[in-house]
Structure 1
Amino acid sequence: MATNELTIVSVSDLFREAGVAHHEAFESTNDEDPDWPIWYADYLLRPLSDLFEVAFTRSQLIYCLMNAEFERRATAPDADWSHFYANHFLERYAGTDTPARDDLALYITPFCPFCRIVRQAIDQLGIDVELRDIASNADFHRQLVDARQRATVPVLHIRSPDGQTRWMPESRDIVHYLQKTYG
């Protein structure tokens, strides 16, 4: 489903619904649940898979939820968690309405094996993607750190014709997005 059709509000509402259900399920334990990602993954597996048209596995969804929480704590600890998670998932899994007109730039380093995986997918699909080597260009490095608060690569930067931008990390997610969108 394209980003136009998915809104931060609709995805955030799904996370909030899961939060209410989780609270009700763990009310007797004073909301203590060290395995919360497992519970949320079980609750959200089908709805998120359907919403994003991605065949999430349980372990993948657990990883994604934990990653969203790590990022929230590191970059926006006071942010509304459901809104933050929604944005996290939209950046990584929502489609695009204008794939042929989107500007794509891949932030890389020359010897990163995960960057090579993404570059191979780009070559196989014949997509025009600007490569931005953060090791040899300080401006590219600064852009990535400003946007993501860290310099881990690969990261796909997607800019749509209307000026909206997305920063998609994780080689597996990038390859899946490129294959689904341009394959």
Structure 2
Amino acid sequence: MPTLELYELQGCPFCAKVTSKLDELDLDYESHYVPRAHGQRTEVKEVSGQTGVPVLVDEENGVEGMPESDDIVEYLEESYGA
């Protein structure tokens, strides 16, 4: 079971940036697609305290709900890059 989880929205360019990095680094992850309406994103709000996506969870490394695609990409490069 992957330790990385990504909360994302289909068609979101910021989410695509993160999934591209995950694929580039050949990392296994579990996707959680969230509803388009922010008011219905209770699951991602519980994880991160906000309703925006993408949000990364990396329980193995103590990341419980990292928002912002640029921060996530930087984290993935530093933590899992060559």
Scaled to the shorter chain, the TM-score interval is: 0.7 to 0.9
What RMSD, in angstroms, separates the aligned Cα atoms of the two structures?
Answer: 2.0
Q: Which has the larger radius of gyration?
A: 1
Counterpart selection for 2:12 from 87, 97, 112: 112
Residue equivalent to 2:80: 182
Q: What is the CA-CA distance between 1:143 and the residue it aligns to?
A: 1.9
C-alpha spacing 1:165/1:120, structure 2 compared with 1 (3 Å): closer
Q: Deviations over 1:5-34 (max 9, x none)?
A: xxxxxxxxxxxxxxxxxxxxxxxxxxxxxx
The C-alpha deviation readout for 1:55-106, integer Å capped at 9, x for no partner, is xxxxxxxxxxxxxxxxxxxxxxxxxxxxxxxxxxxxxxxxxxxxxxx71100
Q: How many angstroms apart in 2 are the aligned matches of 1:165 and 1:178?
A: 11
Match of 2:25 in 1: 125
Q: Secondary structure at the match of 1:150?
A: coil
TM superposition score normalised by structure 1: 0.38
* Bigger fraction of residues in helix: 1
CA distance in structure 2 between the partners assigned to 1:155 and 1:111 by the alignment: 15
Identity %: 36
- 1:32 maps to none
**CA distance in structure 2 between the partners assigned to 1:116 and 1:165 by the alignment:** 20
| Superimposed CA distance per residue, residues 125-169 of structure 1 (whole angstroms, 9 cap, x where no aligned partner) | 000011110128xxxx322112333310000011128xx552111
TM (normalized to structure 2)? 0.80
The 1-side partners of 2:48 and 2:56 are apart by 11
Structure with the largest fraction of strand: 2
Which is bigger in relative contact order (C-alpha 8 A, separation at least 6)? 2
- Give the deviation of 1:178 after TM superposition: 0.6
Q: How do residues 41-60 of structure 1 correspond to structure 2 at under 5 angstroms?
A: none
User: Secondary structure of the residue that 2:15 maps to in structure 1?
Assistant: helix
TM-fit CA distance, 1:180: 1.1
Partner AA of 2:53 in structure 1: V
**Other-structure match for 1:166:** 64
